[in-house]
Amino acid sequence: MTSLSPSASASAAEIAHAAQRMLDGELAAFPTETVYGLGADAENPQAVAKIYAAKGRPSNHPVIVHIAPQGDLSYWAAEVPQEARLLIDAFWPGPLTLILKRAAHIADTVSGGQDSIGIRCPSHPVAQALLAAFAAGKPNGQGGVAAPSANKFGQVSPTRAEHVRSEFPEEVAAGMPVLEGGASEVGIESTILDLSRLDRGAGPVLLRPGHISAAQIEAVLGVQVFAPDATAPRASGTLKAHYAPRTALELASDARLRDVAQGLGLPEGKVVVVAYGDRPAALDARVQWQPVPADPARYAQALYGLLRDLDKQGYARIIVQAPPATDDWHAVNDRIGRAAAAFTLDTTDL
């Protein structure tokens, strides 16, 4: 579990206020160990609609329901297979979202109209306190908070409270709470695993890679984890273009970086290179070199905050060194690849 200094953590009164706002059908933003979430009562379709409106999110794009450790998963899911129980014992609370068959009494507003539902239990202490306070305010004690990342749709996810405030100034001015929780420990969104089609012979299917790897899941289940197929349910953050900064982002091979270092094929203006490799001895004056950790977990933790900082500095392009194509870099490659896909670069100037 994430540990926080008192100065970095929301107070009990602030958490209680945010929980009450969501019980009243309003939005609240809060930290998790992955990224900050924009939350609303998962059983209130009008409140969930406010998430979609604030983010500019397509209505058929599902959100994830967050529950407290003491929450009853069977309240949200029509069935909870043994595979889910094994993974919950191994990884909850933590950055793993399970896609299960949705219980009939849960509205499909959280699943983009599908018969499935994405559920996770975050490990961040502020998130857990908020979820517990929210559930305590429900008549049956079963509170779930629908919460995608607290950013405009398709943009870089927030890993600090100030990111959320800068993304949603109007909502904050109108009274939306943004709970402090320090910098997100993981830094990228949760792993999403589909278990909703096991009875049809499909799965487990990895819909989105994350901090918990396919290999770790396979070690628990003792079976192979498959890649998404044509009939896999839609899930958060799986569109081809996503997680993008406002500055054009290019994913570059090592050969391309050698050209960039010499000033070959650059756009007008300055560019920044985000690289885990060594800085070249000679670097063109138009190129800023930004080192990042060569460790995939530390890289992931730093990625979104770095992209947000670079977005403010007026670069013509962010050029990112392609990480190794290995399993331990799978989640980072997924996020950078989707960010780069948001831009169609003019190849005539490369």
Residue 34, domain CATH: 3.90.870.10
52 annotated ligand binder:
no
32 annotated ligand binder:
no
- Assign residue 280 the CATH number of its domain: 3.40.50
Of 221, 239, 260, the domain-final residue: 221
Residues 215 and 162 in one domain: yes
Residue 128 confidence (pLDDT) above 90:
yes
120 annotated ligand binder:
yes
Of 205, 221, 237, the domain-final residue: 221
107 annotated ligand binder:
no
Residues 211 and 98 in one domain: yes
Distances (CA, A) of 93 to 19, 34, 122, 209, 276: 20, 12, 5, 17, 31
Shortest CA distance to 94 belongs to which of 124, 74, 117?
124
Per-residue confidence (pLDDT) for residue 241, from 0 to 100: 74
Shortest CA distance to 337 belongs to which of 348, 322, 318?
322
- Is residue 6 included in any domain, yes or no? no
105 annotated ligand binder:
no
295: left (phi over 0), alpha (psi -120 to 50) or beta: beta
Interval 7-39: pLDDT, tens: 478 999 999 999 999 999 999 999 999 999 999
Q: Is the pTM of this model over 0.85?
A: yes
Residues 203 and 284 in one domain: no
Q: Which domain holds residue 278?
A: 249-342
Residues 47 and 115 in one domain: yes
Confidence class for position 180, pLDDT limits 50, 70, 90 = very high
- Is residue 226 included in any domain, yes or no? no
Per-residue confidence (pLDDT) for residue 3, from 0 to 100: 46
Residues 306 and 216 in one domain: no
Radius of gyration of the chain (CA): 20
Confidence class for position 344, pLDDT limits 50, 70, 90 = low
- Is residue 235 included in any domain, yes or no? no
- Is residue 237 included in any domain, yes or no? no
Q: In sequence order, what DSSP letters do the residues of 48-89 get, joined into one string?
A: HHHHHHHHT--TTS--EEE--TT--HHHHBS---HHHHHHHH
Of 172, 206, 221, the domain-final residue: 221
Do residues 334 and 236 lie in contact, with contact meaning Cβ atoms separated by under 8 Å? Answer: no
- Is residue 85 included in any domain, yes or no? yes
DSSP state of 23: H
Shortest CA distance to 180 belongs to which of 157, 156, 166, 159?
159
Per-residue confidence (pLDDT) for residue 80, from 0 to 100: 97
Structural domain count, the chain: 2
Residues 161 and 274 in one domain: no
286 annotated ligand binder:
no
Interval 234-247: pLDDT, tens: 887 777 777 889 99
Instruction: Please work out, in degrees rounded to the nearest 5, the angle formed at the alpha carbon of residue 59 by the alpha carbons of 54 and 63.
Output: 75
147 annotated ligand binder:
yes
Residue 307 confidence (pLDDT) above 60:
yes
**CA–CA separation, 167 vs 312, rounded Å?**
13
Q: Name the token pair of 17.
A: 């206020």
Residues 158 and 62 in one domain: yes
Residues 138 and 57 in one domain: yes
- Is residue 349 included in any domain, yes or no? no
190 annotated ligand binder:
yes
- Is residue 2 included in any domain, yes or no? no
Shortest CA distance to 126 belongs to which of 28, 196, 215, 52?
28
Residues 89 and 53 in one domain: yes
Contacts of 173 (CB under 8 A, 6+ apart): none
Interval 31-80: pLDDT, tens: 999 999 999 999 999 999 999 999 999 888 999 999 999 999 999 999 99
Residues 52 and 196 in one domain: yes
Q: State the DSSP H helix or E strand holding residue 41, giving kind and residue range, or none if neither.
A: strand 37-41
Per-residue confidence (pLDDT) for residue 99, from 0 to 100: 98
Residues 284 and 210 in one domain: no
Alpha helices in 124-213 (DSSP H): 125-136, 161-167, 169-173
The residue among 344 and 201 whose pLDDT is bigger is: 201
- Is residue 242 included in any domain, yes or no? no
**CA–CA separation, 320 vs 257, rounded Å?**
9
The residue among 140 and 238 whose pLDDT is bigger is: 140
Residues 173 and 271 in one domain: no
What is the pairing mode between strands 145-146 and 64-66? antiparallel
| Residue 149 CA from chain centroid, whole number | 6
